[in-house]
Amino acid sequence: MPGKVIGKSLNLGYPGNVSRSADAIIDNRVVKPTDTAKINFGDPVVLNDDNTYSKFGAAGTADTFAGIAVREVKQSTDYFNAQGFYAPGQPCDVASRGTLTVVCNVGTPKARGAVYIRITANASIPNGIVGGFEAAADGANTVLIPNLKWTTGKLDANKVAEVTILTRVNP
């Protein structure tokens, strides 16, 4: 290893990567065909009554949280427009247990700290994105996901951090 890398901290990876695979459980279902929102790698998702997935949004609750969209190698028919998401009607891989990398939009993660998902925009927190992960509560604008914890508390320059889904959700 070259001496100039000693003491440097590398990025944690890309959103949606399974970062510790020993305990990962990944399920596959179709993204609801009538949805208009795509599910990006690393996004939280909900399981619908018709056995399809949708992006976690304003109507999401801790009980409807089904897991995190997993980054997968997808066959692309268009070389210049590779997809980093699951579109409505496509099969979608979602981790229902395990450790993954996600983007933390607000706050600084703390090892074993609480994880929140924003459900309502707040003009005073411009980095808060509806459906995004956060390390700080914002009253009724965020939902605490009790089955989800920040893994190490590290946050890289791209706002990527690790989260762990403690027990299997919505099997």
Question: How far apart, in whole angstroms, are the C-alpha atoms of residue 54 and residue 46?
Answer: 5
Q: Is the pTM of this model over 0.85?
A: yes
Q: Assess contact for 156 and 142: CB atoms under 8 A.
A: no
| CA 80 to chain CA centroid, nearest Å | 25
Residue-wise pLDDT tens digits, 64-78? 999 999 987 655 555
CB neighbours (10 Å) of residue 51? 9
Specify the pLDDT at position 19: 75
Tokens of 147: 């089955």
Q: Where are the beta strands (DSSP E) in 120-159?
A: 133-134, 142-150
C-alpha span between 57 and 164 (Å, rounded)? 20
Share of the chain above pLDDT 90, in %: 72
Q: Is the pLDDT of residue 137 over 90?
A: yes
